[in-house]
Amino acid sequence: MSPYISPLFGLAMGSSVLLISSSTHWVFVWLGLELGTLAFIPMLAWWHSSLEVEATVKYFIIQAMAAAVFFFGGLVMTSTEYISGLSQFVGNFGEVLIMFSIIMKLGLVPFHYWVVDVVQGLNYLPGMVLLTWQKVPGLMVLVQLVSMQNGLILLIFGALSAFWGGLGGLGQTQMRKLLAFSSIAHLGWLVSGCVVGTMLGSMYFILYVVLSIPVFVFLYILNNTHLNQVRASLVSNPVAAMVVGVGFLSLAGLPPFMGFFGKWLVLTWLLNNFLVGGAVALVVGALVSLFYYLRVSYMCMVILGPQQIMVSLSWRKGFMGSLLGGLVVLNLLGLLLVGGISSLSK
Amino acid sequence: MYHLVLGYVGLVMSVWVCDSKVMWRVGQIGGLLLVVPALGLMNLNLFISGVSGAMTSDFMSVALTVLSIWLLPLMLVASQQHMVNEAKFYQRVFIGCQVFLTGGLVLAFLASDLLLFYIAFESTLLPTLMLITRWGAQKERYQAGTYFMFFTMVGSLPLLVCLLGQYQLSGSLALDLMFVGVSKGEYIINFWWLGCVVAFLVKLPLYGTHLWLPKAHVEAPIAGSMVLAGVLLKLGGYGMIRVSYLWGSSALVSGEVILALALWGMISMGAICLRQTDLKSLIAYSSVGHMALVVGGVMTGTAWGYNGAMILMIAHGLVSSCLFSLANSWYERGHTRNLIGSRGLIMLFPLIGFSWLISSLMNLALPPAINLFGELVAMVAVYNWSVYSVAFMSLGAVLTAGYSLYMYGMSQWGNVMKGYKNLYIITSREYLLGLLHLMPAIYLIFYLGLMF
């Protein structure tokens, strides 16, 4: 495919978000979602390998089905007053349908099965855009839907996602599958944050994006798809492996890294609203997922065979060196930064 | 107090950029220089004697801060021999790890806000994990590190939830205030209290949650063992004392269960120590036994209990760290930690046998050592809680004496094992280590008022 066509797709994806955020009628929201999906599909299948095409087709089917459910939900919402027996728990049936379609689009439990296979099939950079940018349209709709009535369902799904993302990643050694499960877990935290407030959800999302982009980019640079390759690249490019290791620990939410701040915020706000069960469930999920984050960071930082020696440190110079240094510093000191900013705003 | 933490930031940076010929000296001497501002914090007031923004210092904080700062140069001195053959870069990371760890510990002890304490508490986990898993010697270090991380995290994530809940109810987590969020009669207080306390019980460790400690100690290099036994366990005790400000007397009933478990832990750990074959494992289990009395003291909720726990923590930190460094001195020569393979050491290394003797005697709480005073004060508090605890505590004290003497006797006396070649003489570095550990402990005998 010609590389000159990708700005068109990028423009379409950007305008889809603009469309969603600025439209007042749900048909245009649906239009924006569809535009975003359709513009993204060719970028997924860029390299035409069969694995990528298969992943793209899976992604397309899921997103199309979700869009259809969205449209149906919108129709139900604008038609007569369709009240179901569950309306005291979940509100308007149309709203429920739209919410479920967004859950399907984002990849939250119980409609999350596609995320792992799709991200595994794709290369790192399209996978990164899938897990970070393509959440923005869905989240924009989600934060408008959250209300007192469907907050509980979202919280349950969020807690289940945190748990499932933890459990599912335990047996994985493929890095992309690990990142997919980590994304599901983080999405659970994110959605729980959205239940409490839009600002919290957006802050967590920005934090997640800022933390996961270096991890994806550096795994792409190192070209590591399997855990053993990460371990081996510790010798050839130790500091890039270190960024991946530190990035994973940051994603795990361990202090003193910046990723802790997201968990801190979400837990504070959940407890402010007395949602203790949700907080406990999310924490259990975080604990389970800690295992595979720790395993990856072991591979990057801790394990060294007796014969391996340091190669010459050419990584210290140039653009790459300063980028690496900047990213590690960001992770380490970011907690001070965001803590300071948040305390200033109180 | 910010100057103290900034000093550690500066030390990390100095170690990172200095010449590789001097990096060990920079770490050691820099660490030693940083003791001076810490000693400057020591003020004989009982209550909060210094406040500076996010940090505060009262007698508990300062005692443990000085302990952790004191241990940094000792850790570096102890580990410079076995790191000699590593690549220079990794030596630098090693030193940086330890300095960062000590900086985090100082931040934890001087924090005036419980959330800052939590963050610093958690951030000491990672450097310790690096020390254990990266620089440990056997293949079991992987499991040891995983156990260490997971035991601690399972405790500390509920602690985060409970602390944030407390923040929501009372609006502040500052230690300067005494506050109780939940009123006395409600049932939720038990879970809340448990959530706060489990993290520290795992760290201390309490008998039921102690499984990570022997693994971590055996697999860790000497620096890891010293910092674990010397300071990290005390984080648990300190945290428990601080968190108990939140509850007042409302959680004393729940504390009794923990107290009972701790008393049983004293006896069972004493018994296990008598059957250990690994020297480091013996000292590790003895740590569990000593910390059990700390738990007992804190859980009574009395002033004597807290004081006894504090004295015990300082005393145990110094003595246990000394024992580990002595065991390491032997391990570097004989490459064995087995008690059967390390007999007759007093014949081989008589002068360091003095350090072995003093530290073993202090470990068994011989008067006039400060260990005895700590045990005595804590025992009085536990006796006040229940008369029948005397049976447990006395049996525990007897077993402690038993295994300390056993360790000393098995390692020092008896026939020297044949077949060891190249047992080079004890270096002045190792004599210095023994001295620097034991001198503060002996000085404190004469000025125990520093800690009351």
Q: Which of B133, B157, B167 sits opposite A287 (nearest CB)?
A: B157
Instruction: Residue B36: name the closest of B4, B76, B64, B68 by CA.
Output: B4
Q: How far is CA A176 from the centre of its chain?
A: 13
Residue of chain A minimizing CA distance to B169: A272
Residues of B in contact with A272 (CB under 8 A): 168
Q: Tell me whether residues B153 and A302 touch, CB distance under 8 A.
A: no
Q: Tell me whether residues A310 and B150 touch, CB distance under 8 A.
A: no
pTM for this model (two decimals): 0.92
Question: What is the reported pLDDT for A322?
Answer: 65
For an interface test with B, the pick among A227, A302, A303 (most B C-beta atoms closer than 10 Å) comes out as A302
Q: Bridge-partner residues for A226, per DSSP?
A: A174
Residues of A in contact with B133 (CB under 8 A): 298, 302
pLDDT digits (tens, 9 = 90+) for B335-392: 889 998 889 999 999 999 999 999 999 999 998 999 999 999 999 999 999 999 999 9
Determine whether B42 is exposed, middle or buried from the number of CB atoms within 10 Å of its CB (0-12, 13-18, 19+). Answer: middle
Q: Which of A260, A276, A335 sits opposite B165 (nearest CB)?
A: A276
> How far does the CA of residue A220 sit from the closest CA of chain B (Å)?
26
CA atoms within 13 A on the CB side of A3: 0
Q: What is the count of residue pairs from A and B with beta carbons less than 8 Å apart?
A: 75
Return d(Cα B176, Cα B48) in angstroms, integer: 8
Residue B209 confidence (pLDDT) above 70: yes
End-to-end, the C-alpha distance of chain B in Å comes to: 22
Q: Tell me whether residues B153 and A283 touch, CB distance under 8 A.
A: no
- Average pLDDT for B12-30: 93
Angle of helix B428-446 relative to helix B370-385, nearest 10 degrees? 50
Residue A237 confidence (pLDDT) above 90: no
Return d(Cα B340, Cα B329) in angstroms, integer: 16
Return d(Cα B429, Cα B426) in angstroms, integer: 8
Q: Where are the domains of chain A?
A: 1-106, 142-345
Return d(Cα B298, Cα B310) in angstroms, integer: 9
The pLDDT-based confidence of A312 (bands split at 50, 70, 90) is: low
Residues of A in contact with B149 (CB under 8 A): 290, 294
Return d(Cα A270, Cα B336) in angstroms, integer: 52
For an interface test with A, the pick among B90, B121, B168 (most A C-beta atoms closer than 10 Å) comes out as B168
Which pair of structure tokens corresponds to residue A132?
């970070």
Question: What is the reported pLDDT for A337?
Answer: 72
> How far does the CA of residue A172 sit from the closest CA of chain B (Å)?
17
Which pair of structure tokens corresponds to residue B349?
């290394």
Q: Which of A254, A263, A279 sits opposite B126 (nearest CB)?
A: A254
The pLDDT-based confidence of A86 (bands split at 50, 70, 90) is: low
Return d(Cα B88, Cα B90) in angstroms, integer: 5
Residue A90 confidence (pLDDT) above 80: no
One-letter amino acid at B207 equals Y
Angle ∠(A28,A34,A36) on CA atoms, nearest 5:
105
Residue B97 confidence (pLDDT) above 80: yes
The pLDDT-based confidence of B452 (bands split at 50, 70, 90) is: low
Return d(Cα A165, Cα A286) in angstroms, integer: 9
Residue B321 confidence (pLDDT) above 80: yes
Q: Tell me whether residues A290 and B142 touch, CB distance under 8 A.
A: no
Which range has the worst mean pLDDT, A26-30, A48-52, B45-49, B147-151?
B45-49
Q: What is the ipTM of this complex?
A: 0.89
- What rounded mean pLDDT belongs to chain A? 85
Question: What is the reported pLDDT for B158?
Answer: 92
Tell me which residues of chain A have a C-beta less than 8 Å from any C-beta of chain B: 249, 254-256, 260, 263-264, 267-268, 271-272, 274, 276, 279-280, 283, 286-287, 290-291, 294, 298, 301-304, 309-310, 313, 335
Query: Which residue matches tokens 């590790």?
Result: B284
Return d(Cα A311, Cα B103) in angstroms, integer: 30
Element (H, E) at B314: helix B303-334
Tell me which residues of chain B have a C-beta less than 8 Å from any C-beta of chain A: 87, 89-90, 104, 118-120, 122-123, 125-126, 129-130, 133-134, 142, 145-146, 149-150, 153-154, 157-158, 160-161, 164-165, 167-168
For an interface test with A, the pick among B153, B172, B189, B219 (most A C-beta atoms closer than 10 Å) comes out as B153
3 state DSSP class of A226: strand
The most confident of A111-125, A139-153, A236-250, B39-53, by mean pLDDT: A111-125
Question: What is the reported pLDDT for A310?
Answer: 55
Which pair of structure tokens corresponds to residue A74?
């919108």
> How far does the CA of residue A272 sit from the closest CA of chain B (Å)?
5
Which pair of structure tokens corresponds to residue B248?
């007042």
Residue A41 confidence (pLDDT) above 70: yes
Q: Tell me whether residues B168 and A260 touch, CB distance under 8 A.
A: no
Return d(Cα B296, Cα B177) in angstroms, integer: 25
Torsion of CA B425, B428, B430, B431, to 10 degrees: 110
Residues of A in contact with B167 (CB under 8 A): 268, 271
Residue A342 confidence (pLDDT) above 90: no
